[in-house]
Amino acid sequence: TQLLEQSPQFLSIQEGENLTVYCNSSSVFSSLQWYRQEPGEGPVLLVTVVTGGEVKKLKRLTFQFGDARKDSSLHITAAQPGDTGLYLCAGGNSGGSNYKLTFGKGTLLTVNP
Amino acid sequence: GAGVSQSPRYKVAKRGQDVALRCDPISGHVSLFWYQQALGQGPEFLTYFQNEAQLDKSGLPSDRFFAERPEGSVSTLKIQRTQQEDSAVYLCASSPNRTPWEQYFGPGTRLTVT
């Protein structure tokens, strides 16, 4: 069974601070996605990384996939209250034709004004 | 364009009732997934369709759970004889053929079994 562990589970910071969220596994994934979920809504896809060592930037968000494709991190610079939400990482495998995702439990981020 | 839609958004069922949850995927998306999300947890995989074929149902928790996608578009997740432990948010996602791992989620159906 593949598992993804996210840390920290909860994070409360002030507007303007930087933060990093981690996603770790003992298993190799062929792709890793980061999602953001707000209360009462479904997860919204932020980014997909597929190559070991890959770094992607989305405005103030920087995503990195580990060289061994077992771990990933999400760094937010100068956090804003609008960044508040549940951040989920999800790993996928393209073995055969099954593209189901394995999700971590998420990091609940609160950015205080 | 329109995203994934799910109905109803909220469902309250008495223990023992049957429920049916509907998912309308993004038009043209070949793959469709159902996930279950308990409070404070990440989504957990239930089942996966490619067009009308159900390729993986390994995540369905019991034989009370049944999913179908008869024409390769709309899908229905049915739960028979609901139990309290079935209370959760049920999420549907679809993905395009070109990048099947990039899944786009609907808003979910919150099921409460009393």
pLDDT digits (tens, 9 = 90+) for B96-110: 888 888 899 999 999
Give me the mean pLDDT over the B35-40 stretch: 94
- Residue of B86, B75, B65 lying closest to B12 (CA atoms): B86
Percent of chain A with pLDDT over 70: 96
| pLDDT for the residue numbered A26 | 87
Cα B54 to Cα B98: distance, rounded to the nearest angstrom: 19
Residues of chain A below pLDDT 50: none
Q: In Å, how far is B92's CA from the nearest CA of chain A?
A: 9
Predicted confidence (pLDDT) at residue B35 exceeds the cutoff of 70 = yes
CB-closest option in A35, A42, A106 to B106: A42
Interface residue A88 vs chain B (CB under 8 A): yes
User: How many whole angstroms separate alpha carbon B72 and alpha carbon B53?
Assistant: 8
Mean pLDDT calculated for residue range B58-81? 96
Is the pLDDT score of B1 beyond 70? no
